Amino acid sequence: MSNSYKLGISPLDLSSILEIINEDKNICLDNSLKDKIISCRKFLNKSINSNDNLIYGINTGFGSLYNKKISSADLSKLQENLVLSHACGTGDEVPTDVVKIMMLLKIQSLSFGFSGVQLVTIERLIEMFNDNIFPVVYQQGSLGASGDLAPLAHMSLPLIGYGDVRVLRKNSDGQNKHIKIKSSKIIKDKNWDIISLQPKEGLALLNGTQFMSAYAVWSLIISKKLAYFSDLIGSISLEAFDGRKECFDELIHMIRPHKGQLKSAKNIRNFLRDSEIQRSNKKHVQDPYSFRCMPQVHGASLDAIDHVEKIISTEINSVTDNPIIFTEQEKIISGGNFHGQPLALSMDYLALAVSELGSISERRIFQLISGKRGLPEFLVNKSGLNSGMMIPQYTAASIASQNKQLCSPSSVDSIVSSNGQEDHVSMGANSATKLYKIVKNVEKILSIELLNSFQALDFREKKSSEFIENLKLAFRSEVEFLEDDRLLHIDIKKSIDFLNNLNIDIDLL
């Protein structure tokens, strides 16, 4: 299998991005893209030299300074000043995996040949990407409208010798770890020249939606896995609760045939196939909603994930800087493709959908520890002396509540910037960082449910399905049955790691 991925052969999708990231693939440009990049740059140079017309961001100032003409001698300095002045990010660092996706998407967008950048600029970004040299970017600073200006400025700083980067180095244990160093040191170590930004290049680098898009891509990949885990862990909880399976019968779902609902019900039927617990007589005629309505709730989230994936797939294969250069039509058009509204709305929607997976999961945890259906209170022997699984439910409830607070939509907010020139912004960057936190939170809630569901299942004499029983064996090799109280923080961490280590093909989700 080749360790290289060629951009320009086919559109990027979630699977190809996951392949590049997880398999640490190098990226390169198809020759057809190189030709377009060179042709676009030549046309732009010709346009600049052949007339004195104002072209936004190329021989003018930026934002509300769009009428300020810049002399020919200062055009390169203008672009460097742009990158330096816009690198105003603050807050926590963006996770390295997200920065890696961000760089990939920026390279992809610039390579289409509508942005006017030098080939050497893109090639430097590619070399950094392939050498695992990732700029330090900060989470706060983008309004999600003029593109992700501050984050993309930080991503671009190493091109001109400024800022910090993270590089892979072996620690004392022989493990690879990203450490922070000055970009100037990397440039010296690599014997690189500092990129001399040409007219329009700084603007091309900073205008764009790649910060938002990278968070969206990462969150979508994890959300698809969480939707699958919700069906799986919910099925284990159903078995442990001695719940009924007829509510997952295909007949009931075919007469309300939402795609996600059908898929969720099918998943649950497959997980329960040949379960001895399901073949036993049931004392209860009906189960609580958090069990009985799993296909309807999980399925609605699945449909939302599917919708958002379509939006994001379009976005990551688009040109989102400004102005945009059309060489064949000999036009340079200033527009608004950098505006993050499609992303902001989609990520707010995805945040709601993923949060609901955590909300219903927390309710199943509550049911399991409540001393119902023959299960001991808090799923432990000698309760009273032992608190058992009492407090993990508190933790899940706390996280679920935080998710509800984080779900307040960012896309309905707007603050005027640049002296009124940029008078409606998407706040999609805030949507992105909130979504990331919600996704990580739901991962924790589902891990707590998994911990509880297997604890409860071990109190049942009858066996579940072969699939669930084999999964329980694997889980028990990492997390022992809770006989007496112990430090459950460690168990929750192990449960999170167990989920993260399950190999799931997202193409099958």
Last residue of a domain, one of 208, 233, 254: 208
Half-sphere exposure of 34 (CA within 13 A, CB side): 8
Which of 477, 470, 482, 483 lies closest to 497 in space, CA to CA?
Answer: 477
Q: Distance between CA 285 and CA 303 in Å, rounded?
A: 30
Residue 66 has a pLDDT of 67
Q: Name the phi and psi angles at 298, rounded to 5.
A: -60, -40
134 and 252 co-located in one domain: no
Query: Residue 185 pLDDT > 90, yes or no?
Result: yes
Is residue 451 within 8 Å of residue 389, measured between CB atoms? Answer: yes
Q: What is the 3-state secondary structure (H, E, C) of 397-432?
A: HHHHHHHHHHCCCCCCCCCCEHHHCECCCCCHHHHH
Active site residue 56: yes
Give the mean pLDDT of 50-65: 75
Radius of gyration in angstroms for the set of CA atoms belonging to the chain, rounded to a whole number: 26
Is 249 in the same domain as 172? no
pLDDT value of position 306: 97
Q: Does 335 share its domain with 446?
A: yes
Residue 138 has pLDDT above 70, yes or no: yes
Are residue 151 and residue 247 in the same domain, yes or no? Answer: no
- According to the model, what pLDDT value does residue 459 have? 97
- pLDDT over 90 (residue 76): no
Q: What is the pLDDT of residue 19?
A: 94
Cα–Cα distance for residue pair 183/185, rounded to 1 Å: 5
Closest-CA residue to 21 (of 99, 91, 94): 99
Residues 448, 318 share a domain: yes
Please tell me whether residue 177 adopts helix, strand or coil conformation: strand
Q: What is the model's pLDDT at position 409?
A: 95
| Residue 457 CB neighbours (<10 A) | 24
* Nearest of 445, 345, 428 to residue 393 by alpha carbon: 445
More confident call, 54 vs 100: 100
Matching residue, tokens 């449910």: 449
Residue 312's Cβ-count burial label (10 Å; 0-12, 13-18, 19+) is buried
Find out whether 239 and 273 touch, Cβ atoms under 8 Å: no
The residue whose two tokens read 């009492």 is 390
Please tell me the distance from the alpha carbon of residue 294 to that of residue 363, in angstroms, as a whole number: 11
Of 2-6, 12-16, 138-142, 372-376, the range with the lowest mean pLDDT is: 2-6
Residue whose structure tokens are 């929607």: 349
Q: Give pLDDT tens digits for 356-411.
A: 999 999 999 999 999 999 999 999 999 999 999 999 999 999 999 999 999 999 99
Q: Residue 56 — very low, low, confident or very high, per pLDDT cuts 50/70/90?
A: confident
The torsion region of residue 161 among left (phi > 0), alpha (psi -120 to 50) and beta comes to left
pLDDT band at 335; cut points 50, 70, 90: very high
Task: Identify whether residues 487 and 385 lie together within a single domain.
Answer: yes
Mean pLDDT of 130-153: 95
Segment 270-278 shows an average pLDDT of: 97
Return d(Cα 91, Cα 394) in angstroms, integer. Answer: 29
* 93 bridge partner residues: 138
Q: In angstroms, rounded to a whole number, what is the distance separating the alpha carbons of residues 84 and 162?
A: 8
Instruction: State how far the Cα of 441 lies from the Cα of 433, in Å rounded to an integer.
Output: 12
Give yes or no for residue 422 having a pLDDT over 90.
no
Q: Are 42 and 48 in contact (CB under 8 A)?
A: no
203 & 221 share domain: no
Catalytic residue among 5, 56, 138, 289: 56
Within 10 angstroms of residue 281's Cβ, the number of other Cβ atoms is 4
Same domain, yes or no, for 181 and 263? no
SS3 content of the chain, % helix, strand, coil (to 5): 55, 10, 35
Q: Find out whether 292 and 337 touch, Cβ atoms under 8 Å.
A: no
Q: Which band of pLDDT confidence, cut at 50, 70 and 90, is reported for residue 64?
A: low
Whether residues 266 and 151 fall in one domain: no
More reliable by pLDDT, 57 or 333: 333
Residue 60 binned pLDDT confidence (cut-offs 50, 70, 90): confident
Q: What confidence tier does 23 reach under pLDDT thresholds 50, 70, 90?
A: very high
pTM: 0.95
Matching residue, tokens 């989609």: 346
Using CA atoms, how far apart are residues 426 and 410, in angstroms rounded to an integer? 8
Is beta strand 331-333 parallel, antiparallel or unpaired with respect to 133-135?
unpaired
The pLDDT assigned to 62 comes to: 73
Q: Provide the number of structural domains found in the chain.
A: 2
Give the domain-ending residue among 208, 230, 250: 208
For residue 298, what is the domain's CATH number?
1.20.200.10
- pLDDT at site 272: 98
> Tokens 């961001």, residue?
57
Q: What's 184's domain CATH number?
A: 1.10.275.10
* DSSP element (H, E) containing 170: strand 164-170
Lowest mean pLDDT among 184-193, 230-239, 480-489, 497-506: 497-506
Taking the C-alpha atoms of residue 206 and residue 210, their distance in angstroms, rounded to an integer, is 9
In the chain, the amino acid numbered 473 is: L
Do residue 189 and residue 229 come from a single domain? no
My answer on whether 271 and 343 are in the same domain is: yes
Instruction: Give the confidence band of 48 by pLDDT, cuts at 50, 70, 90.
Output: confident
pLDDT tens per residue, range 339-364: 999 999 999 999 999 999 999 999 99
Domain extent, residue 44, equals 4-208
The C-alpha atoms of residue 7 and residue 353 are separated, in whole angstroms, by: 32
The mean pLDDT value for 415-441 works out to 91
Residue 1 is predicted with a pLDDT of 54
Q: Where is the domain boundary, 177, 208, 239? A: 208
In this structure, the answer to whether residues 278 and 421 fall within a common structural domain is: yes
